[in-house]
Amino acid sequence: MYTYFWDEKRVYLVLEFAQGGELYKLLKKKTRFDETTAAVFMFQMADALNYCHTKNVIHRDIKPENLLIGDEGQLKIADFGWSVHAPTKKRLTMCGTLDYLPPEMVAGEEHRELVDVWSLGVLCYEFLVGTPPFEHDDTSHTYSAIRNVWFFRTLLFCGHYGH
């Protein structure tokens, strides 16, 4: 972040230019990522979220549309519109994007920074499969799937394991 400013309605963050655009567009173009690319992106996201959480910032809307790609391929978290500085950690506001919401938020329970960790798991699945694990045409089914942790797809790996 270079700087910030505000007016009576909003806070504005001035960030570096992310030449690679949205990760969402790259994911849709490729359909899914190979395991090495997914692992690199997951490491970058875990590191970035760890930094946010050590500063008591909960993002609450981690998804491919809110991740930008820098000129060297590094991911950058964007759109802090739902984020909160939460020194006490616990929140009740239901916010974010349905496919990435954790069970506790869907159930209307208190949540803390672990909501971002849940979203990170959803991202990992989406990176490897190409769609979020709980996505369904009917939003009530999506809510139920998240609440009960039901997957609508089977995760298939391309690589060989155990060697």
For residue range 63-83, what is the model confidence (pLDDT) as tens digits?
Answer: 999 999 999 999 999 988 888
| CATH code where residue 79 lies | 1.10.510.10
Tell me: pLDDT of 151 over 70: no
Q: ∠78-84-87 over CA atoms, to 5°?
A: 130
Under the banding of pLDDT at 50, 70 and 90, the label for residue 162 is very low
Q: What is the pTM of this model?
A: 0.82
The residue range of the domain holding 25 is: 3-92+111-131
Looking at residue 51, its amino acid is: Y
CB atoms within 10 A of CB 104: 16
Phi then psi dihedrals of residue 64, to 5 deg? -55, -35
Q: Is residue 146 part of a domain?
A: no
Q: How many domains does the chain have?
A: 1
Q: Is residue 78 part of a domain?
A: yes
Q: Is residue 154 part of a domain?
A: no
Q: Is residue 101 part of a domain?
A: no
Tell me: pLDDT of 159 over 60: no
List, by residue number, the catalytic residues: 61
